[in-house]
Each structure stands twice: as C-alpha cells, then as structure tokens.
A and B are shown apart, each in its own frame.
Chain A
Amino acid sequence: MQFLADVQFQSNWLEILSSPFMRTAFIAGVLVAVAAGLVGYFVIVRGSMFASHALAHIGFPGATGAALVGGSIFAGLVAFTVVGAVAIGLLGKRASDREIATGTVLAFATALGVLFASLASENTSTVTNILFGNLLAIPSDQLVIFAVFLGVLAIALLVIFRPLVFASIDPAVAEAKGVPVKGLGIAFMVLLALVVSMAVTVVGVLLIFALLVTPAAAALRFTARPGWVIFWSATIGVVSVAVGLVIAAMINLPPSFFIVAVAFLVWVVAAATRRERRVAVPAGGHTATIN
C-alpha cells in the first residue's frame, strides 16, 4: 500500500476524530458553515461576491497586524473587516460597481498584510493559516465567540429578513415602499464582515468563496425560495466541513483543501443537474414542482 503511505494514511483516524482538538474543529466548522449559509443567498442576490472577497483581503493585514503587535489574530480580523464593511456599505452603490477602487484598495491591503507578516516574528505557518485557513488550529475558547457571532447573525437576519430580501432583489421599489435600503445595506455588510472573519479561520482569506458563495450557488440550482436556499446552503456547508474533516483525519493534511473540494464537488453536481422543471397545474392556478 505504497499509495496510502505516500498520502500518509492514518489507520487510527477514528481515534483522531474523537480527540478533543477534532471535536473543537468540528464544532467550529459547523458554526462557521451555518453562518456562511445564512448570508450566502444575500451575497449572491446583492452581487456582493467581490465585496466579500475584498473583505477577506482587508482582514488580512488586520490578522497579521495583530500578530505583529502580539494581539489576537481573530480580533484583528474582525476589527479590519468590520471597518472595511462599513466603508463599503457607506459607498452605497454595490461594491461590484466600484470594482476598480475596491480592487486597488484590496491589493494595497494584501500588500500591507504581507508587510506586517514579514515584520512579525511569527512563523510562516501562521501566515499560511490566515491565507488558507486551518480548522485544526482554532483554539477551543474561540468556540464561544463563534457561537455568539452566529447567534447575533441569526437573530439580526430573522428581524430584517423580509426587508433585506426586498431591498436586495428590488431596491428601487423597496426604497419607494419606505424600506431603509441603504441602512440595511450597511447592516448586511457588517454581518457579512463577522461571517468573513469566522470563515477565514476555516478556509482562509484566499478560499473564502468556497464557504460563502459556493454552497448558496449550488442551492440556487434547486430552489429560488430564499428560506430554502438558506437552509440548503447551510446544509451543504456543514456537509463540506464534516466530510473535509473526516478526510483530513484519514490522511494527515490540513482540512482546507478537502472542505473546499467537497463544496466544489457539490456545486459541480448541482450545476450539471438539470434545473428543476415546473409544470403549471391549471385548476385553481396553483403550481407544482417536479424534479
């Protein structure tokens, strides 16, 4: 079994899975995947894909800067992404309309991150963890913070759900109807910043798309009902994290690749599957969905 030896197959993977650090990783991954699933639909509908990518990059110097001054990397991430979120939100227009400005700022932010990283005496694995994520490096006391973030996010989204859907899909009419479109936009960006900060710890700055956008994009192939898209995004995210962790336990490699690969596979299968067919039932004007 030369192949298994090459990929460092660990025959005691079940034992590894039941170890405390794996349990921490699993809980953290599930919390983050659910949080990402909650916002994924809105990220796609609002066209905030680029903005979410930008937020992760803006968080990078926050994280390495925190390492430089000896602070908490996660706190640095949160501080920078939230400030970045408010700035993008205040610009008002969708960040995708300002791709040049956003791109320029995020290139500078990334460069700043590299500078801080090289000034800091941290070893290179810290920087790698920030760029590509490492669930196994999450300390157990972080779980409480993740749970609180998820709670805040869930409650906030429950309260603003309908107006946010309205403002995201149909801003002109929502505005006329009295929905505070701009305020909701800023609020959403701040919530997104919290999720991005969490997700960076799992898949890193560079792979943020995999948790934030890919599951929702896959879910949208099956349904366009906002509540169900959110449910399936969270489910796909959780499955990706869980399966990714199990594989990472089997072969001693960082889980990020496997998590992203599972999410990617789900998306590929979803994209290849024919869009659901809908047939109108004439009587009563009700409609049925046929898969």
Chain B
Amino acid sequence: MLDFDNVSAVRGGTTIWSEGTFHVPSGQMAGVIGPNGSGKTTLLMMILGLCRPGSGTITVMGQTPHRGDARIGYVPQNYASIAGDSIRARDMVLLGLTGTNYGLRRTTKAQHERVDQVLAEVGAADFAARRMSQLSGGQQQRVAIAQALVSNPKLLLLDEPLANLDVRNQQEIVALLSRINDERDIGILLVVHDLNPLLSVLDGAIYLLDGHAHYDSVNEVVSEELLTHLYGTAIRVVRTPQGDLFTRSA
C-alpha cells in the first residue's frame, strides 16, 4: 500500500523527520502516532501529494503521490469547524463525487443513488437532510467518512478522526472504520493521539520517533519501552486476564 524509501519530511524549511524507510502492506488498518509537532499531518500531506518529501521516494499503491489521486479518500482534522451552517450533510457527501466537475452538469440518478448507498453504509441516512451544524461531532465524522468513501477510494486517510468525540462515539467510529476496512477491503491510515480505542482493530502503526519514521505491526508498537520513549513520559502496557490490552501513563 505504502512504500517509503529514505524519506525525509520538511515543513517550513526545517526537516522534521528523516530516514523513513518502511513498507505498509496493502489492506492494512494502520495508525500514525507520535508526539505533537512530530510531523504526522505532514506525512498525510506527502501521501496526498500536497507537499513533497525533502528527500527519498514515496510510492502510494504503485504510483508517485499526486494531487487529486482518485484512489485516496481524505478526512481532514477539525472537520466539524467548517462552514457547517450553509450546507446539508447530503450535499456535503455529493461534493465528494461532483465537487471537481466544472460546468453545469445535472447530478445523475446513479450519482444520487451512490450518495444514498454510502450514507446508509456509514449510518448517516437518518440525518442526511440536516445541516452540518445541526449534527453532533460523531454524526459529522460519519458524514466526513461518507464523503471520502463516495468516490470508492482504495485508501482512506483520516487525520485525528477521534478528536473531540466522547468514548461512545469513539468506539462507534472505530467500529465503523474497522467494518469499512473489512467489507471494502481498502487500506486505512489514521492519525491518532490515543492508541487505546484502536488497539483491538489496528494492524500496525507508523510511529515518529526521535526524528525518524518507522512502521511496525501493532504487537511490536505496543511496548512499554517504545511508547515511553515515543511520548517522553512513562507509559505502561496493561494486559487484563480477559485479554484486553490498553496503555496508560505510569
């Protein structure tokens, strides 16, 4: 799905991480973790072709990253803060399909059906006629995911999809993403702060440690030594007798 070869990330003229050499197998559900300012969003921007690596090469599903790659769906951070009072959820999703079309073409019946399908898939059909501003954070996130999915991407990128959500909504979004990952058989890459809600569904994680980017399977990433080093504060990994796994500050 993703191949990074000696990649460095540059933002505002400074290198924020380098020597990123790793391979993310296709169809994976992978996290991107690292402390604030470590370059997680920049990593997404490079995959989207919105900024170029300082050095090295990135290959996304066999191609060099390029803007407007129809194979990638993207859900940006702070989705809720956009001009939500002036658009309905359904029209928001439709933009994911027709928003790049110039000229006044009528939206086809097939396109409307496509929007209905994806709204139902993410559980947003019931509130699709409401304005974005009238929706809860969890509902807005579902609409954002629907918009990203409506063009049938092969890879879904999400920047902090669980931020500002309560525990129940976090669990619901995680369950939804996991189901999308299975049913659509597409890769999902998501930037997260807290690994805990995702530990049961993640296959692996890209982690930004000491100015370098690495990828490993989730079992390798969830280690006290690595996480403590990564976040610069003592982290414990707890396995309960029931088999649950979670991390917490020591």
Contact = CB atoms under 8 A, between A and B. Distances in A.
Contacts of A175: 50, 67
B104 interface: yes
B50 A176 contact: yes
A47 B68 contact: no
B12 interface: no
Nearest to A41: B86
A163 B102 contact: yes
Contacts of A166: 95, 99-100
A162 B83 contact: no
Chain B contact-residue range equals 35 or more
Interface string A156-197: 001111110110111011111111000000000000000000
A169 B93 CA distance: 12
Interface string A34-46: 0000000100111
A47 B85 CA distance: 12
Given A176-B72, A280-B127, A224 B101 contact: no
B67 A285 contact: no
Contacts of B76: 172-173, 176
Interface stretch (B30-38, B118-126, B179-187): B118-126
A178 B87 contact: no
B83 A168 contact: yes
A71 interface: no
Contact of B95 (A162, A178, A285): A162
Interface in A44-87: 44-47
Closest 3 CB pairs of A and B: A178-B68, A166-B99, A287-B129
Interface of A: 41, 44-47, 158-163, 165-166, 168-170, 172-179, 220, 224-226, 229, 278, 280, 282, 285-289
